Structure 1
Amino acid sequence: MFKLNLKIALRNLWKNKGITAINIGGLAIALAAFVLVMLYFTYETSFDKENPNYDHVYIVGINYPEFKTDYAPAPFAVAIKQNFPEVDRVGLVKGSSFELTIKNGGNTLFTSKILTVDCNAAKILNINPSGGLVKPSGDAERLNYLSNESMKILFPDKKDNKPEIVGFGASNLGITGIIAGSIKNDPHSNFNFDGVSISNKLGNRDNYDMNDYTIYLQLKPGVNVLSLERKITDLYRAELLKNKVGGSKDELKGISTFLDPLSSLHLKPKAGNNTPYKILIAISVLGLLILLIACINFTNLSIAQATKRAKEVGVKKVMGAFRFQLITQFLIEIFMQCFAAIILALILAELVLPSFNTLFQVQLSIWHLGNDLFWQLPLILSVITLIAGIYPAIILSGFKPILVLKGNFSTSKQSYVLRNSLIVFQFSIAVVFMISLLIINSQLKYMRSQDLGFTADEVVYIKNISIFNDPLKFEPVREKILKIPGIKSATVATFVPSGQNGVNSYVANGIKANIDFVGVDFDYFETLDIKLKKGRFFSREFKTDTANSAVINESAMVKYGIKNPIGQTIRGCNIDYKIVGVVKDFKTQGFENIVQPTIYTIKEPCGGNKMQIMLKIEQKMMAGALATLKAQWSDINKQDGEDFRYLFLDEMYGKLFKKQEQLQTVFFAAALLTIFIAILGLFAFVKYITNVRIKEIALRKILGASNFQIMKLINSSFFVMVLIANLISWPLAYVLTKKWLSTFAYRIDMPVLPFMLSAVVTVLLTIITVSIQTNKAVKAKPVDALKYE
């Protein structure tokens, strides 16, 4: 019986090979997209899961009234360990603030991610050197390790794990150190690194003024995290009072701590941006919807084919076949199509995977051991077979023998309504994707065309390891740089306008607040073409500018409620700064975050190190100036020596748009796929409709109806369905895109054009698709359709 059913299934599929090809092709395309989404979702949600402490590791963060941060003072780690027995381990981690050059003969390694950790942090984060974790012999000693990839660059022929002597920085400095061994760097971890420096203790254990370390806790099983969080907050406030940091007891009520689990760090950190998480959810929903549309397509076409199978069902029932047997037969047919679609989907996914990896900057692979797809695909095959096939199988097996053998092959009114409803649903989803894509494009176009408040073009950021906190130290470097033709200005700062700044507490006009700070040098504002609102920029003509002068932005002026800021005092880092200028707000942190109140000073004892060199170079002379800089860099900046590296500031700033550009690409692909699948289904469905109504069309032509009237008649029902789909999708698209736009501090107003354009495009595509199919039926001779009547 099974063999007979299989033969019948194959014959039916071959007999209707056009519909079969559309079913398998549409489903394969959707499945390929879904496979890629599943791979990406699995990858993004499994960071650090190889860490045996995964479920018990937390970061200690601090809530301030204005912001949240993952950085905390080093001595607080000791206080936590001493006061809370439910904490198993406490570790400290500090990242690198500059790119360090490491050399071995002619091999050079530029490291930008060097983690400094204590032994406890290494255990918590599962950082294990190849020879095992060794505790340094004294508090001053550090054991330096490089990742396996870094070791291969420096020692390509090394086969043992013995320590090696390397050079740090420029060759002329003569600084050497020992690399104790290698560590496997897991790219699938939040703790990605070029190298790790392990010590017994980290940080000044008495300094609560600087929040420059990350504290990691490994909790014992069964700990109440919320309760511990409250106790750590109380301890932190007490420690600040004891060390006379942070203000009075009442002022400290606005400060609290939080515990952020390791599982949240990659996608939705409490003290960070959760845009990656939102984009992952959006992509996952898109993948599910595309697959659902393909299944709907499958279901719709299977129901449309029902009349062709009516006699077969009637004869089989007369011969004694049970309904269950008929359902099984039809499900086998559908299973065969789904199985073929999965094979084709894997081929398509493999072809698209390199482009997908490039877009999301990942290294995903379908064919590797341990891939979840090996158990997920059979499950998907079973699910889509049931979703796409169970209703058509019930409809087909439900025909009554007496009626169908008399010639009554029509499906029920419920099937007709369902079929049309599914088409409306398909187009509704396609319209939502289309509107979303157009609005995303508009927002990105707005972001690229808006005035940032500073000019990133023609500005080159020079990577550097020298510290220029003293303007006198940078002055000879600046003079040498400005002698090179094409370079208009040079400056140095603690931060480059392409991300986060430092944060510190300042008091002005009787108001105390945490605001951003940037340590700068002369010509900083001129190099970036930042606009002055009041007062003046820093100038060499005023000697006090290097001691206690400050420039603030408009947001800081509003934050402190200062109407006439020039000459006013703002205090921070134990210095009374005199405000000499106010600059217009400029978007250093992109469009998602509102411009933060910021202070700019030349002297900043509590700030970071001024290492970020920026040069303004004429566009026409850019290549020549950079070549000259490279040739002369060892003379200009001896500490960097021959290691001249640079980036263009506009490219660095453009990375802030990376996630949104990924979303744009994904929605573009999703819109194309959903429209293609919907049109594919519509094309096949119209073909079926015209075949069913071929006699009606012939009679209408005999009675005098023109070709245009008949085509208009057939188009009208589909035209109405597409209009209904647009009306349904508009409110949904409005809500979704409005919510997405709300994540931007600076955004476009909701445009009307995408909604109108989506309606025009879908209606035109429907009319073209239907007209192409109906044209053949309309031009056929009526006698050919009626000669047997």
Structure 2
Amino acid sequence: MFKLNLKIALRNLWKNRGITSINVGGLAVALAAFILVTLYANYETSFDKKNPNYDQIYIVGRILPDLKTNYTPPPFGKAIKDNLPEVENVGVTKVGGFEFAISSNGATIFTKNLLRLDYNAAKMFNINPTGGLNKPAGDERLFYLSKENMDGLFPNKKDNKPELVSLGSKSAGQTATVQGAVINDKHSNITFDALSIANVLGEGENYGYNNYNTYIQVKEGTDIANLEQKITAMYRAELVKGETDKSVLERVKEVSVFLDPLKNLHLRPKAGTDANYKILITLSVLGLLILVIACINFTNLSIAQATKRAKEVGVKKVMGAFRFQLTIQFLLEIFMQCVVATVLGLIIAEIILPQFNNLFLVDLAIWRMDNVLIWQLPLILLFITLIAGVYPAMVLSGFKPAVVLKGNFTTSKQSYWLRNSLLVVQFSIAVIFITGLLIISSQLKYMRSQDIGFSANQVVYIKNIAYFTNPKDFEPIRDRIMKIEGVKSATVASGIPDGSENGTNGYTVEGKEANIDFLDIDFDYFETLNIKLKEGRFFSKDFNTDTASSAILNESAIAKYGLKNPIGKIIRGCRTDYKIVGVIKDFKTQGFETAIQPTIYTMKNPCGNSKLEIMLKVDESRMSEVLATLKSQWSDINKKDGDNFRYQFLDELYGKLFQKQEQLQSVFFAAAILTILIAMLGLFAFAKYITNGRIKEIAVRKILGANDLQIFKLINSSFFVLVMIANLISWPLAYILTKKWLETFAYRIEMPILPFILSAVITISLTIITVSIQARNAVKANPVDALKYE
């Protein structure tokens, strides 16, 4: 029986190979998209899952009145371990502040991500160097490189012996011993290209140094909410030790601690951005919707062909076939198509995968032994078989022999309404994608055309390892650089406007204290970036106090403190009284998603970060000449950096802030194309079925005098109504979804009307073209051919 059903299925599929190809092709394309999304979702949701302590590790964060951050002071971890028995282990880490060169006798590599951590953190995160993890002796620091970097420096190394390397410029004579290599798991929140492991990090630093990350490993069954309360109470007690100032004591009451599980850190951290999570959710929904559209196509076309299979069902039932046998037969046909679609989908996914990896900066692969897609794929196949096939199989197997064998059988009104409803759903999803794509494109265009408040064009960012915290240290470097023809200005700062977060601290003006960002800069910082002055003046060498006790605030900081006539007023922070000498206009250092932060700019800050970031404004016409000169003279200009001259263009770095939104735009573009393609394929086949069913009606109308235009209008009218209904349904949904997306931006466009109109024009135009192409043969046919047997 199975063999007979298989033969019948194959013959029916071949007989209707046009519809079969559309069904299989649409499903294959949709499955390829869904497979890629599934791969990406598996990757994004499995960060750090290989860590045996995955469920017990939490990062300790602080909640301040104006800030939520994962940065904590180094002694905090020791206090937690000593006082709370629920905590099994505590580890402290700190990310290195700059990129530096490491050289062997034959090669040089650059470490961009030096991770410092204590021995407990290394154990917690399962750091396993070649030769095993050793505990540092006393104040010793063990230095390791990632396996990629180690292989780059010592490609022929066969043993696990330590190696001597040069750090920074070779002429500086600074060396270090590399103990071994560590595999850098890029599928982890703890990534690095070099490691420095110590017994204790931040020794001697107090609770004012909030630039470390503290991780705790709790015992199983620990009440996390209760533990948070205990750590908060302990932290407040540490902050008020020896403090008598009532205002400080009151402010400490507003400070609290949170614990964020390791499994949240990549997608949904409590402190930080959840952009990865939003991209994942968007992709997952899009992938599922595309698959649903393909299944709707399948269902629609299967029901539409019901009349062709009616007599077959009637004869089989008269011969004694039961309904469940017929249901199994039709499900078998559908399953065979789904299997072929799955194979084709895998082939398409494999072809597209390199472009997908480039877009999302990942390294996904389908054919891996540890890939969970291997067991997910059969479930996906079963899912689409049931979704796309159960209803058509039930409809086909439910025909009554007495009705269908009379020869005047037509599908029920219920099937008619279902087909039309499914078509409306298809086009509604397509309209949402088209509208979303147009609105995303409008927001990106707005972001690229808006004045960001500073100019990154022709600004060269030079990577550097020399500290210039004291303005006098950078003065000779600036003088040498400014002698190069084409250099307009040069400056150094503790950060560059590339979306990076600045440090935050408490500052007081006229008795009002608030946490604001701070940035340590040098002369010509604002001039180099072409930042506009609102009132007062920039830092100047004509004023000796500028290098010690002058400050410039941005407009947001002035607004936060509610200052009027701020020039000359005193702002106190980091045990220093600063005189406000200028106010600059706000500029978007962190892009469009984050509001401009209140910021203070100083040249000397006891609590600040090291000034490492050198920026030059260069004449556009002499850029290549300037860069060549800098490279040849860098070992003399900046001896500590020596022959390791490296640079990037600031506008390129700032442009990376748009990367996530550009990814989203690409995803919506692909989704819109796929949904339109699948919907049009289904519409094409469906229009063919409808047109063929009205051949005699069309012939009669032509005999009675109807012209071609009237016939085209007749056939298109029903589809036009369906597409209009789809637009009316999808517009509110598209509005709600895109409005929520736009609300994630601090600076955004107003909701435009044009995308909604354009989506209607696009879908209606494509529908009319598709249906008209299919109807053309019926309209041009001779009426005699259709009516000669009547």
Q: 1:370-389 to 2 correspondence within 5 Å?
A: 370-389=370-389
**How big is the shift at 1:206?**
5.3
Matching residue of 2:667:
666
Which residue pairs with 2:789 in the alignment? 788
- Once residues 592 and 232 of structure 1 are traced to their aligned partners in structure 2, the CA distance between those partners, rounded to angstroms, is 32
Shift of 1:324: 0.2
Q: How does 1:640-789 map to 2 (within 5 A)?
A: 640-789=641-790
The residue type equivalent to 1:321 in the other structure is A
For 1:240 and 1:59, locate their aligned partners in 2 and report how far apart those are by CA, in whole Å: 20
C-alpha change, 1:47 and 1:521, in structure 2 (3 Å) is same
Shift of 1:123: 1.0
Runs of 4+ in 1 over 3 A off after TM superposition: 243-247
Q: What do residues 598-636 of structure 1 show as CA deviations (whole Å, max 9, x unaligned)?
A: 000001111000000000011111111101100000000
Counterpart secondary structure, 1:488 = strand
Partner of 1:308: 308
Equivalent position of 1:453 in the other structure:
453
**Partners of 1:410 and 1:394 in 2: CA distance:** 16
Q: How does 1:151-162 map to 2 (within 5 A)?
A: 151-162=150-161
1:103-252 correspondence to structure 2 within 5 Å: 103-138=103-138, 140-205=139-204, 207-242=206-241, 244=243, 248-252=248-252
Alignment of 1:560-709 (within 5 A): 560-709=561-710
* TM-score w.r.t. length of structure 2: 0.99
1 CA distance for matches of 2:205 and 2:707? 93
| Distance in 2 (alpha carbons) for counterparts of 1:657 and 1:233 | 37
CA contact (8 A) 1:509 1:561 kept: no
Q: Which amino acid aligns with 1:513?
A: A
Moved more, 527-536 or 206-215: 206-215
Once the two structures are TM-superposed, the CA of residue 510 in structure 1 deviates from its matched residue by: 1.4
Distance 1:248 1:148 in 2: 48
Assess if the C-alpha contact under 8 Å between 1:163 and 1:179 holds in 2.
yes
SS at match of 1:406: coil
How far apart, in 2, do the equivalents of 1:254 and 1:431 lie?
A: 48
User: 1:385-406 CA distances to partner (integer Å, 9 max, x unpaired)?
Assistant: 0100000000001111011100
Q: Which runs of 5+ in 2 are unaligned?
A: none
- Structure 2 CA distance, aligned partners of 1:713 and 1:727? 22
Q: Could you tell me how far apart the structure 2 residues matched to 1:736 and 1:676 are?
A: 23
Contact map agreement 1:101 1:108 (CA 8 A) in 2: yes
Distance apart, 1:707 and its partner CA: 1.1
Q: Which moved more, 1:90-99 or 1:195-204?
A: 195-204
Contact 2:243–2:249 (8 Å) recurs in 1: no
Output aligned runs, 1:34-49, within 5 Å: 34-49=34-49
- Which residue type is aligned with residue 111 of structure 2? T
**Aligned mates of 2:619, 2:269 — CA distance in 1:** 41
SS for the counterpart of 1:116 is: strand
Aligned residue for 2:641, secondary structure, equals coil
- Which residue identity does 1:546 align to in structure 2? T
Q: Give the Cα–Cα distance (whole angstroms) in 1 for the partners of residues 705 and 634 of structure 2.
A: 88
Q: Secondary structure at the match of 1:344?
A: helix
Supply the AA of the counterpart residue of 2:658. Answer: F
TM-score by length of 1: 0.99
Aligned equivalents of 1:331, 1:200: Cα separation in 2: 65
- 1:534 aligns to 2:535 (yes or no): yes
Matches of 1:511 and 1:291, distance apart in 2? 57
Cα distance, 1:412 vs. partner?
0.7
Q: What RMSD, in angstroms, separates the aligned Cα atoms of the two structures?
A: 0.9
Deviation of 1:705 after TM superposition, in Å, equals 1.1
State how far apart, in whole Å, the 2-side matches of 1:255 and 1:655 are: 34
CA distance in 2, matches of 1:409, 1:22: 26
Task: Write the deviation string for residues 191-240 of structure 1: whole angstroms up to 9, x where unpaired.
Answer: 11111111111113551111011000000000000110111111111100
Instruction: Give distance in 1, aligned partners of 2:704 and 2:354.
Output: 59
Tell whether the 8 Å contact from 1:208 to 1:243 is kept in structure 2 after alignment.
no
Aligned length: 788
CA contact (8 A) 2:81 2:87 kept: yes
SS at match of 1:250: helix
CA distance in 1, matches of 2:123, 2:243: 33
Gaps spanning 5+ residues in structure 1: where? none
Distance (Å, rounded) in 2 between the aligned partners of 1:351 and 1:657 = 27
Secondary structure of the 2:96 match is: coil
**Structure 2 counterpart SS, 1:254:** coil
Deviates more, 1:434-443 or 1:408-417: 408-417
Q: Alpha-carbon deviation of 1:106?
A: 2.8
Task: Name the aligned partner's letter for residue 421 of structure 2.
Answer: S
Deviation of 1:248 (Å): 2.4
Q: In the alignment, residue 141 of structure 2 is paired with which amino acid?
A: R
The alignment status of 1:65 with 2:58, answered yes or no, reads no
Instruction: State the 1:702 CA deviation.
Output: 1.1
Letter in 2 for 1:519: D
Query: Aligned to 1:543, what secondary structure does the other structure show?
Result: coil
The letter for the 1-side match of 2:582 is G
Aligned partners of 1:74 and 1:92 also within 8 Å: yes
Q: Secondary structure at the match of 1:772?
A: helix
Q: Note if contact 2:533-2:584 (Cα within 8 Å) is conserved in structure 1.
A: yes
Identity, % of aligned pairs?
Answer: 68
Contact 2:87 2:219 in 1 (8 A): yes
Residues in 1 aligned to 2:351 and 2:582: alpha-carbon distance in whole angstroms: 57
Task: Write the letter of the residue equivalent to 2:149.
Answer: S
Contact 1:77–1:215 under 8 Å retained in 2 = yes
- The correspondence of residues 87-106 of structure 1 with structure 2, limited to 5 A, is 87-106=87-106
Structure 2 counterpart of 1:558: 559
Shift of 1:243: 5.5
The answer to whether the 8 Å contact 2:489/2:616 transfers is yes
Match of 1:269 in 2: 269
Q: Which moved more, 1:747-756 or 1:264-273?
A: 264-273
Mapped partners of 2:761, 2:704: distance in 1: 34
